[in-house]
């Protein structure tokens, strides 16, 4: 059993998937449909503690800052969802948390123009994550969960090829946790996305920040995965009937389409790396 828990593959796939299914179900039971999505961030924090360990507070490194930023996002998201916060105020809260966290994590690496541009791009993506949802679809969890799944896969795959195993494991664990949430919401969307969901999306931006600013991975390829952010709009444009079947088909189509740019990004990372990975 201990061997299984220490297996990097299990740590970043099966374990977070099962943890997420359990956490989402438990939070649904305790806090209702609005708090269930918090299970994604709870699972991410648990996987972080297992893979990297609980960092010191105050944290001396970017990885430690990533952990405590995720914990802060979890708490902020949970509190905001419990209080029923929605709309521009909720978006502004997510944007503030994400900007502060990004700045905190990134500032030791902001020593060049390239790093400055990278940071600006990360802030822009964070802004889209916070404010980019269509008001008409703000409660629907399927499309943003598909975005989170796709971006986490892109970051995880790129990190894995780029010899940054912990970021890879954490991002793939986040993807698996999102998979657990999606299982609860297919074929029927049972839960709200809310501030906690937006915070989980913010965590993948923070992971991308660590990958692009503190490792030698080909993180620029992540730009290729950004079309996944349009999943919400794509879902709204799909000519599917507003029936149970139509909604289930919409979730499946959007998830598959969101993952395509992520796979392109991973393929580009592989090609740029010369096809050689770390022996770990």
CA 59 remoteness from chain centre: 22
**Site for other proteins (CB under 8 A): which residue of 32, 53, 187, 246?**
53
User: Residue from 46, 82, 163, 264 that binds other proteins (CB under 8 A)?
Assistant: 163
Question: Hey, what are 251's tokens?
Answer: 């979730």
Residue 166: CB minimum distance to other proteins, A? 5
Q: Could you give the CA distance from residue 95 to residue 80 in angstroms, rounded to a whole number?
A: 13
Both tokens assigned to 276? 């050689």
Q: Is 62 in the site for other proteins (CB under 8 A)?
A: yes
Distance CA 277, CA 49 (A): 25
Residue 60 lies near other proteins (rule: CB under 8 A):
yes
Contact yes or no for 101/64 (Cβ under 8 A):
no
- Provide the minimum distance between the beta carbon of 20 and other proteins in the complex, in angstroms, as a whole number: 22
Residues 135-154 binding other proteins (CB under 8 A) are none
Q: How far apart are CA 178 and CA 36, in angstroms?
A: 12
Residue among 31, 72, 75, 166 that touches other proteins (CB under 8 A): 166
Instruction: Return d(Cα 178, Cα 189) in angstroms, integer.
Output: 14
CB of 169 to other proteins, least distance (A): 9
Cis (ω within 30 of 0) for the bond into 187? yes
* Smallest distance from other proteins to CB 168, Å: 10
Number of other CB atoms surrounding residue 138 within 10 Å: 17
Does 184 contact other proteins by CB under 8 A?
A: no
What's the closest the beta carbon of residue 52 comes to other proteins, in angstroms? 6
Contact at 8 Å (CB) between 180 and 44?
no
**Per-residue contact string for residues 218-257; x = within reach of other proteins by CB under 8 A:** ----------------------------------------
Q: Judged by CB under 8 A, which of 26, 31, 33, 61 binds other proteins? A: 61
Return the closest-CA partner of residue 115 out of 123, 106, 124. 106
Q: Are 125 and 229 in contact (CB under 8 A)?
A: yes
Q: Site for other proteins (CB under 8 A): how many residues?
A: 29
Residue 10 found at the interface with other proteins (CB under 8 A): no
List the one residue from 167, 176, 219, 228 that touches other proteins (CB under 8 A): 167
Per CB under 8 A, 278 contacts other proteins: yes
Report the C-alpha gap between 144 and 265 in whole angstroms: 19
Q: Which residues bind other proteins (CB under 8 A)?
A: 6, 51-53, 55-56, 60-64, 108-109, 162-167, 210, 213-216, 276-280
């Amino acid at each position: 059993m201990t061997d299984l828990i220490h297996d990097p593959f299990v740590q970043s796939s099966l374990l977070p998937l099962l943890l997420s299914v359990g956490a989402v179900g438990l939070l649904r039971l305790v806090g209702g449909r609005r708090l269930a999505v918090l299970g994604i961030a709870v699972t991410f924090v648990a996987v972080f503690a297992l893979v990297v360990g609980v960092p010191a507070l105050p944290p001396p490194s970017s990885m430690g800052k990533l952990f405590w930023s995720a914990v802060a996002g979890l708490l902020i998201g949970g509190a905001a969802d419990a209080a029923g916060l929605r709309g521009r105020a909720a978006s502004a809260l997510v944007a503030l948390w994400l900007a502060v966290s990004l700045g905190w994590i990134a500032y030791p690496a902001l020593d060049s123009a390239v790093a400055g541009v990278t940071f600006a791009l990360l802030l822009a993506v964070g802004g889209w994550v916070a404010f980019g949802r269509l008001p008409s679809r703000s409660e629907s969890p399927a499309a943003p969960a598909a975005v989170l799944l796709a971006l986490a896969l892109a970051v995880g795959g790129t990190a894995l090829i780029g010899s940054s195993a912990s970021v890879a494991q954490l991002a793939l664990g986040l993807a698996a946790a999102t998979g657990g949430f999606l299982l609860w919401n297919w074929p029927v969307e049972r839960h709200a996305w809310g501030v906690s969901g937006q915070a989980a999306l913010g965590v993948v931006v923070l992971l991308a920040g660590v990958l692009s600013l503190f490792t030698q991975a080909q993180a620029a390829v992540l730009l290729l995965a950004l079309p996944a952010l349009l999943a919400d709009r794509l879902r709204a444009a799909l000519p599917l009937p507003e029936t149970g079947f139509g909604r289930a088909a919409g979730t499946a189509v959007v998830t598959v389409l969101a993952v395509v740019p992520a796979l392109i990004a991973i393929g580009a990372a592989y090609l740029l790396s010369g096809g050689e990975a770390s022996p770990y």
